[in-house]
Amino acid sequence: MAGCGDPIGRDLRGGDFIFRYVEGDDFGRLENAFLVCTFWYINALAAIGERDEARALFENVLTCRNRHGLLAEHIDAATREQWGNFVQTYSMVGLISSAIRLSVRWDQAF
């Protein structure tokens, strides 16, 4: 996606995660990415045919789950430590949505 003038990846991506916004606020500069934004980005990559990059990012996020397979609302892009509301429905729905988007269709699987 970087080759097509990707403003999201250029402006909001921090490592393997997408931030909700990057401007400083009353609390300073954000260190934690909003996980559902990362899943939306994964879905966008898959939709435009960048499935390898989408799958790599998806697999990366999977490694950040806790031992029960759950995700929080935010993640520290540097340390990969989960922050914010836990368990976060947005993050879990994002995970499911991206898993479906990256899955092989049933009629093509067999």
For 6-20, write each residue's pLDDT tens digit.
777 777 887 889 887
**CA–CA gap between residue 29 and residue 11 (Å, rounded):** 14
Per-residue pLDDT at 5 exceeds 80: no
Q: Give the CA angle between residues 19, 6, 95 to the nearest 5°.
A: 45
Does residue 40 belong to any structural domain of this protein? yes
Three-point CA angle 48, 53, 59, nearest 5°: 125
Q: Kindly state whether residue 110 falls inside one of the protein's structural domains.
A: no
Domain count, the chain: 1
**Phi, psi (rounded to 5 degrees) for 21:** -160, 165
The whole-model pTM stands at 0.83
Decide: 1 and 9 in contact? Cβ < 8 Å.
yes
Rounded mean pLDDT, 86-95: 87
Residue of 47, 52, 58, 46 lying closest to 96 (CA atoms): 58
Amino acid symbol at 6: D
42: containing domain? 2-105
**101 domain residue, yes or no:** yes
